[in-house]
Amino acid sequence: MTRTRVIAALIMAPAAICAILLLPSQWLAALSALLFLTGLWEWLKLSGVEDTLQRTVLVALNLLLMVLLVWASDGSLVLLQIASLTGVAWWLVALLWLRHFQFGADRGSPACIAKLAAGTLAILPAWTALILIHAAPEHGPRWLLAALTTVWAADSGAYFAGRHFGKRKLAPRISPNKTVEGLVGGVLAGVATAALFGWFAGVTLAQLPGLLLVALAAVFASVLGDLFESLLKRHAGAKDSGNVIPGHGGVLDRIDGVLAALPVFALGKEIFGF
């Protein structure tokens, strides 16, 4: 499984990097919308929406929200910034949800409706944050690459550190395989990668401390996103969100950390001005 996971990553990573660095923001927005809405499709299934027609309607409504948001912004970034900030606020609520992990566990519970709203609050702000970062006038594509590689490196660092050194469980009732040692490995890998790709994006020495703080916050946010998806899967009794990516599961399994990290990175970038 590890070999399959690595081979799949070696195929996906170059394709993603080329898209980030070479595509115009409009085309990347369309491509990422397709990817994120596929993740939402899996999110809805985990949330108990089994009917294909119902899921199609819900995904279409979220696509309409994306279109309306871009149309209403009319070249202004204010609405996109508000959407990204909403995402940060949502993930703080999700942290509270993790403490009360049985909330919404019963499929017939009215609380399951909250999972449907949570899907929109996770997908839409992450997508707007991606656009904001990529469309930035100063090396936007490079900064988006820095944001995403931070999450990818943190995920890989946590995976390998957890496998080799993991002993103390991080959240055993939600995700038994995650360990404190894996978290430390992920933080170290993510922050180091942020510094490297931040240099590629043109970060100055004076901006470096701010970048490292943002990277640290983004890594912790990515862990939160990963844990929340694990919560959804535990409630649904599923191992993966899907099986479209060999060794990785579904699309949501690959973007869960990104969904939480991108709004944090976009907000931090605005605050520290890099």
**pLDDT tens for the 274 residues of the chain, in order:** 566 666 766 777 888 899 999 999 999 999 999 999 999 999 999 998 889 999 999 999 999 999 999 888 876 788 888 999 999 999 999 999 998 888 887 776 677 788 999 999 999 999 999 999 999 888 999 999 999 999 999 998 998 898 888 889 988 888 888 999 999 999 999 999 999 999 999 999 999 999 999 999 999 999 999 999 999 999 888 887 876 665 557 899 889 999 999 999 999 999 998 8
pLDDT, position 72: 86
Q: Which domain holds residue 44?
A: 2-272
Q: How many CB atoms lie within 10 A of CB 233?
A: 22
The backbone torsions φ and ψ at residue 249, rounded to the nearest 5 degrees and listed phi first, read 95, -135
Cβ atoms of 212 and 191 within 8 Å: the answer is yes
Q: Of 176, 140, 101, nearest to 23 (Cα)?
A: 140
pLDDT of residue 77: 81
Give CA–CA dist 88/90, Å, rounded: 5
d(CA 121, CA 117) in angstroms, rounded, equals 6
The Cα 53–Cα 44 span in angstroms is 12
Q: Maximum distance among all alpha carbons in the chain?
A: 54
Helix intervals (H) in the chain:
2-22, 25-46, 52-73, 78-99, 112-134, 140-165, 180-201, 208-236, 251-272
- pTM of the predicted model as reported, rounded to 2 decimal places: 0.91
User: How many angstroms separate the Cα of 93 from the Cα of each of 40, 84, 100, 122, 130?
Assistant: 19, 15, 11, 11, 21
Tokens describing residue 125: 């702000």
Q: How high is the pLDDT of residue 108? A: 66
Which are the contacts of 2, defined by CB distance < 8 A and separation ≥ 6? 247
**Contact present, 36 and 63 (Cβ < 8 Å):** no
CA distance linking residue 111 with residue 53, whole number of Å: 22
- Total tally of structural domains belonging to the chain: 1
